[in-house]
Amino acid sequence: MSSSAELKKAGLKTTLPRLKILSMLENASIRHMTAEDVYKSLLDSGEEIGLATVYRVLTQFENAGLVIRHNFEGGRSVFELNDEGHHDHLVCMECGDVFEFYDKAIEERQQKVADESGFVLDNHSLYMYGVCEGIRKNGKCSINKRKLPSILTTSKRR
Amino acid sequence: MSSSAELKKAGLKTTLPRLKILSMLENASIRHMTAEDVYKSLLDSGEEIGLATVYRVLTQFENAGLVIRHNFEGGRSVFELNDEGHHDHLVCMECGDVFEFYDKAIEERQQKVADESGFVLDNHSLYMYGVCEGIRKNGKCSINKRKLPSILTTSKRR
DNA sequence: GGTATTATTGCTAATAATTTGTACTAACGT
DNA sequence: ACGTTAGTACAAATTATTAGCAATAATACC
Ligand SMILES: [Mn+2]
Ligand SMILES: [Mn+2]
Ligand SMILES: [Zn+2]
Ligand SMILES: [Zn+2]
Supply the CATH number for residue B144's domain. Answer: 3.30.1490.190
Tell whether B60 is covered by a domain: yes
What pLDDT does B143 receive?
A: 52
Q: Which of A58, A81, A104 is the last residue of a domain?
A: A81
pTM: 0.87
pLDDT in tens, A45-72: 999 999 999 999 999 999 999 999 999 9
Q: Do A40 and A74 fall into the same domain?
A: yes
SS3 B27: helix
- Taking the CA of residue A81 and the nearest CA in chain B, the distance in Å comes to 19
Same domain, A118 and A77: no
User: A158 in a domain, yes or no?
Assistant: no
The confidence score (pLDDT) of residue B158 equals 24
Domain that holds residue A68: 3-81
Beta strand pairing call for A33-34 and A78-81 = antiparallel
One domain for residues A92 and A61? no
- Per-residue pLDDT band for B145 (boundaries 50, 70, 90) equals very low
Give yes or no: residues B92 and B127 share one domain: yes
* Residues A50 and A115 both lie in one domain: no
Tell me whether B125 touches chain A (CB under 8 Å).
yes
Report the 10 Å Cβ neighbour count for A132.
23
Question: Looking at the 3D structure of chain B, how many domains does it have?
Answer: 2
Give pLDDT tens digits for B89-105: 999 998 888 999 999 99
Query: Do B66 and B111 fall within a single domain?
Result: no
Mean pLDDT of chain B: 88
CA of B110, nearest ligand number: 2
In a domain, B33, yes or no: yes
User: Could you tell me if residue A105 is inside a domain?
Assistant: yes
Least CB–CB distance from A120: residue in B103, B106, B130 = B130
Is strand D less than 7 A from the beta carbon of B53? no
Using a CB-CB cut-off of 8 Å, the residues of chain B touching A121 are 128-130
Same structural domain, A101 and A35: no
Looking at the structure, do residues A28 and A75 belong to the same domain, yes or no? yes
In a 10 Å sphere around its CB, with 0-12 CB exposed, 13-18 middle and 19+ buried, how is residue B151 labelled? exposed
Residues of chain A neighbouring B136 (CB-CB closer than 8 A): 118, 120
Same domain, A9 and A75: yes
Q: Is residue B158 part of a domain?
A: no
Domain boundary among B81, B98, B116: B81
DSSP state of B46: T
Query: Does an H or E element contain A130, and which?
Result: strand A120-131
pLDDT 10s digits, A5-51: 999 999 999 999 999 999 999 999 999 999 999 999 999 999 999 99
Q: Which of A34, A57, A81 marks a domain boundary?
A: A81
Above 70 in pLDDT, residue A149?
A: no
pLDDT band at A156 (very low <50, low <70, confident <90, very high): very low
Is residue A74's pLDDT more than 90? Answer: no
pLDDT digits (tens, 9 = 90+) for A97-137: 899 999 999 999 999 999 999 999 999 999 999 999 998 98
The per-residue pLDDT for A57 is: 98
